[in-house]
């Protein structure tokens, strides 16, 4: 048995424990979390950590296969500009080699990531994930704006999912976004997910005002971009009540849903989704949102369903680092959230959104969530400092 003692221990849900002691098996399985004075609180053979211990981070939204695009795309172009740049460079720059992918994976793990929801358009990251210490769920991402392409794209997704499964990897289908998935494609995806127990549907959502305008009216800058890509939008059926109504129309209420980015989502829309879906989750990627549009979800939006928000890093095409602690600092600085709000977003809530909470996300007996050390905190106000660092122990 191992004993870990720290100034603060955050269980992943609930209040922090001052001078708490974490008891584990040699393989990292949690036995107990105890406070001073409780039975078993013995400090003589405990490993002491100044700062805080928290469960391993869960990166709820990642694009590992874009790791070669760091610094390639300019900041502040808006979503339409970002997508245009990304489409161009993906054709011009070869996909990353295994060395770079492994290095990116290892750096995330060293800084505390133990599980991740990764968006996949190819099989390129699969061999790295087989060897990784991070538990990945692979969201096989599908694009088919035109209804006549839905079946072809769906079958390609099924083939890629089957390849992931053959390598022992967890994978399921997900649409890219409301503006890139026809109703026909959504019917195919949701029907397939009905046959898979406990699989999440992840979708990019309300990342830009242009997206909301296009879904609502069929016009605007996004429509112009699609036409430049030789995609005919003339027969597109707009959803006058907007993207939230589109989700409600296209996704069964019983489906676990993870909407990603939510940069322009309102309190009312989040409340509609939590009322409609039995298992709705919302992911913010603060650094990427600032990189692309200069905005992150508002404070009241995050507070409107605070137990259902999780955190992702997005990709190195839209970020300078895949550091979950950095993402937490952005939210802290923007909205004043302390660690008792931020830690669940980075751990337990992400694990629940991905369906991985039986093993990850919290210091509960029987789980093996990993242990992250956060150094040099503001203990009084439970805040991250500029010099705070995270590492998996």
Predicted TM-score (pTM) of this structure: 0.96
What pLDDT was estimated at residue 225? 84
Q: Which residue has the higher pLDDT, 94 or 135?
A: 135
pLDDT digits (tens, 9 = 90+) for 40-80: 899 999 999 999 999 999 999 999 999 999 999 999 988 88
> Closest Cα partner for 23 from 34, 9, 15, 13?
34
pLDDT (tens digit, 9 = 90+) per residue, 309-323?
Answer: 999 999 999 999 999
What mean pLDDT is predicted for residues 226-254? 90
Residue 354: per-residue pLDDT = 98
Whether pLDDT at 89 is above 90: no
Please tell me the predicted confidence (pLDDT) of residue 387. 96
Averaged pLDDT, 82-100 = 88
Spell out the residues 6+ positions from residue 238 whose beta carbon is closer than 8 angstroms to its own: 214, 215, 216, 217, 218
Q: Mean per-residue pLDDT for 229-239?
A: 82
Q: How many CB atoms lie within 10 A of CB 139?
A: 29
pLDDT of residue 379: 93
How far apart, in Å, are the Cα atoms of 37 and each of 30, 34, 171? 20, 9, 45
In the block, which residue shows the tokens 């309102």? 266
What domains are defined for the chain?
Answer: 2-54+380-392 (no CATH), 57-322 (3.20.20.140)
């Amino acid at each position: 048995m191992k004993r870990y003692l720290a100034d603060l221990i955050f269980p992943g849900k609930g209040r922090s424990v001052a001078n708490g002691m974490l008891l584990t098996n040699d393989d990292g399985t949690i036995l107990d979390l105890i406070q001073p004075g409780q039975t078993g609180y013995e400090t003589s053979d405990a490993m002491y950590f100044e700062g805080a211990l928290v469960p391993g981070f869960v990166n709820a939204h990642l694009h590992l296969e874009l790791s070669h695009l760091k610094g390639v795309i300019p900041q502040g172009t808006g979503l339409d500009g970002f997508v245009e740049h990304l489409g161009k460079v993906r054709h011009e720059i070869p996909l990353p080699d295994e060395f770079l992918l492994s290095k990116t994976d290892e750096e995330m793990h060293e800084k505390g990531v133990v599980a991740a929801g990764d968006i996949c358009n190819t099989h390129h990251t699969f061999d790295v994930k087989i060897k990784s210490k991070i538990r990945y769920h692979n969201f096989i991402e599908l694009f088919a704006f035109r209804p006549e392409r839905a079946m072809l794209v769906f079958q390609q997704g099924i083939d890629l999912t089957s390849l992931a499964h053959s390598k022992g990897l967890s994978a399921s289908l997900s649409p890219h976004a409301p503006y890139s998935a026809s109703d026909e494609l959504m019917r195919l995806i949701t029907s397939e997910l009905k046959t898979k127990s406990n699989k999440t549907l992840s979708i990019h959502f309300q990342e830009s005002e242009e997206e909301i305008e296009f879904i609502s009216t069929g016009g605007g800058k996004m429509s112009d971009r699609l036409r430049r890509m030789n995609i005919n939008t003339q027969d597109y059926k707009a959803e006058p009540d907007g993207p939230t109504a589109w989700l409600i129309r296209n996704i069964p209420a019983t489906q676990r849903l993870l909407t990603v980015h939510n940069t322009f989502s309102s309190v009312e829309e989040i409340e509609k989704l939590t009322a409609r879906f039995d298992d709705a989750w919302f992911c913010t990627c603060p650094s990427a949102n600032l990189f692309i549009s200069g905005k992150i979800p508002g404070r009241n939006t995050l507070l409107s369903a605070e137990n259902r928000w999780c955190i992702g890093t997005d990709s190195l095409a839209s970020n300078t680092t895949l550091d979950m602690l950095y993402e937490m600092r952005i939210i802290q600085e923007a909205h004043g959230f302390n660690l008792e709000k931020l830690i669940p977003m980075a751990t337990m809530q992400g694990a629940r959104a991905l369906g991985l909470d039986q093993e990850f996300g919290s210091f509960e007996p029987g789980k093996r969530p990993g242990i992250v050390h956060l150094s040099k905190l503001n203990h009084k106000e439970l805040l991250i400092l500029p010099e705070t660092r995270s590492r998996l122990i």
